[in-house]
Structure 1
């Protein structure tokens, strides 16, 4: 199997034919009146997997999570957890817990009492509750704040309390619905890694719903990209980004340049496309579209090079244009190049040094180029 990106960890039960899914959605449909929120969806999630449901608002991801939690019932189909069907099982009897974006903490209770609430409801003995709460406070590094109330905490601290409360009952699966949406960017990025480390340490299965692509790419072992109640692709973050299975997924995940045109030749797994914007693209591909067929290829901005001179490598794909927009983002610079026919191409360059002599400027004539293995030919 071709490898994409860096190895996150040696964990890939979905590639092991002997592994059994921990959670299975089997032909699940959910309708609200005439509206179909989830449409005949089948999906497997494995034990100890950090799994992300990613999609735009209204794609069905939160409905799927709520059905797993028991807050909604499927119109048809079956949900299986650890070998047992969840049909007819109320939320409080399911071995799952859910953490909401709003955190839903009790404002009149201290941190300690918020974490203990579910345990008291279950009738756990007081000494055991005290021990479990202490364990959870230590886990999320909130021991010093046990006596405070939610309004006395920062957003990040409230998030930790909600997480501790969700984990206190030791669920088999933790469900997270947009868990970091209320945090600022820097704290959100820090918390993403904390959640990953916590999930690894606890050995639990995490299922997170998010519309934030970067969040899903950072945290998840696999991502299910959803659209209109269906799964468009399930794969690792690197596979989703580098080898999307459709135009929709390619366009949805990250920034991408899509060059459409007509196939002029196919030879030794190199497809040549005469693009609609006036230049020829040669691309390595396992796909073998017919000569004369319409096709497209995708190239991510970071795979493109922007230069004043034509590329020295004659085999490189290259087209002339002028710099239309330049955005300096600190770690990288983003270029928008306007080609001679008016089409716009996006490229990005890592700022590896602090200062650049004679930097590229607005309206400057430039070349945009990329290698034959920089992108892929689209299947559809």
Structure 2
């Protein structure tokens, strides 16, 4: 069976009907006065999973995380953790720890004192605290910074201290609320892979809240895309990107072109849509809409081909347009191509070579084409 995109690891307990979820939100609702932050939400997360809650500000993702941590109580519904209903259990009694975006380090304490703070609060013997702190310092590669204070560290180092402090108590679940938001782009990308490696090494369950699509796509085993307190789709990063279950998810994740059309024929796992400008879209589709239904067809910019010459069958999955804008991004070039009806398609082409003999330029007439399996017919 072919997979959609690359898979990070073979770990996939959500595909096993006999697997028991480690965390379950069951019909959870959270209201603040007249505002519903989380709306009758049901969601399963599995042991050792790196799970991401992704959505725009105000979608309910942080509220969900805070309910799991115990900082907020559900208005209704249940939250089950490792087989136990955690309603009424205070945050400090739950087997979870939370790492905040601000890191919340104590400025007057050294790195090792910050890491050991929770252990001292729990009354752990000093010798065991010293041993655990040393383990954590080694884990996050900060041994030589043990005696420094937070203001003497870089942003990335402070992030590691906060991570080590969160892990020192060995929680069953680590909750991360926008953990990389304060880092610059390059350091954020490096830290994403470090977090992935650390999570697999420790064998813990990580639940991360983020509005950064690239961050969620890079780190997570699965992503829950949220909107207005509801989960719209839960799937692996590749499935979210290549097979969005709705127009909302297709439009929210990455760049996408959405072409409108009406179903004119279907059969043998394929659908034909009559689109604007006489364009006929022929696409492979798991779900076959009924003839006459108007629907959308989503296709990513990198799936489009841009050529001067017309394809062999210019009436199917191909349309002529004019180059409206060109953006050179180093690794790729982005073309905005205006069609006869005024719609603009976005296409991206990899710059595999440094030199181009005859580059496409502004105002040129070009053909945009794509394969039958390149896009997805949308349900709504």
Q: Structure 2 CA distance, aligned partners of 1:316 and 1:190?
A: 43
Note if contact 1:37-1:228 (Cα within 8 Å) is conserved in structure 2. Answer: yes
Q: Give SS of 1:147's match.
A: coil
Aligned to 1:279: 279
Note if contact 1:316-1:370 (Cα within 8 Å) is conserved in structure 2. Answer: no
Q: Structure 2 CA distance, aligned partners of 1:357 and 1:201?
A: 48
Map 1:173-192 onto structure 2 (within 5 A): 173-192=173-192
Note if contact 2:69-2:94 (Cα within 8 Å) is conserved in structure 1. Answer: yes
Note if contact 1:284-1:376 (Cα within 8 Å) is conserved in structure 2. Answer: yes
Describe the superposition over 1:184-241 as per-residue Cα deviations: whole angstroms up to 9, x where unpaired.
Answer: 0000000000000000000000000000000000000000000000000000000001
Aligned to 2:342: 342
Matched, 1:203 2:185: no
Q: Give SS of 2:44's match.
A: strand
Aligned to 1:311: 311
Aligned residues: 380
Q: Structure 2 CA distance, aligned partners of 1:11 and 1:315?
A: 43
Matched, 1:355 2:355: yes
Note if contact 2:24-2:79 (Cα within 8 Å) is conserved in structure 1. Answer: yes
Superposition TM-score, scaled by structure 2 size: 0.98
Note if contact 1:173-1:207 (Cα within 8 Å) is conserved in structure 2. Answer: yes
Aligned to 2:17: 17
Q: Structure 2 CA distance, aligned partners of 1:200 and 1:311?
A: 47
Map 1:65-76 onto structure 2 (within 5 A): 65-76=65-76
Q: Structure 2 CA distance, aligned partners of 1:174 and 1:285?
A: 38
Q: Structure 2 CA distance, aligned partners of 1:278 and 1:248?
A: 26
Deviation at 1:313, TM superposition (A): 5.4
Note if contact 2:321-2:337 (Cα within 8 Å) is conserved in structure 1. Answer: yes
Note if contact 1:241-1:250 (Cα within 8 Å) is conserved in structure 2. Answer: yes
Q: Structure 1 CA distance, aligned partners of 2:315 and 2:193?
A: 41
Q: Which moved more, 1:348-357 or 1:311-320?
A: 311-320
Runs of 4+ in 1 over 6 A off after TM superposition: none
Q: Structure 2 CA distance, aligned partners of 1:14 and 1:135?
A: 32
Map 1:1-380 onto structure 2 (within 5 A): 3-312=3-312, 317-380=317-380
Q: Structure 2 CA distance, aligned partners of 1:314 and 1:335?
A: 20
Q: Give SS of 1:368's match.
A: strand
Query: Superposition RMSD on alpha carbons, in Å?
Result: 1.1
Q: Which runs of 5+ in 1 are unaligned?
A: none
Describe the superposition over 1:123-144 as per-residue Cα deviations: whole angstroms up to 9, x where unpaired.
Answer: 0000000000000000000001
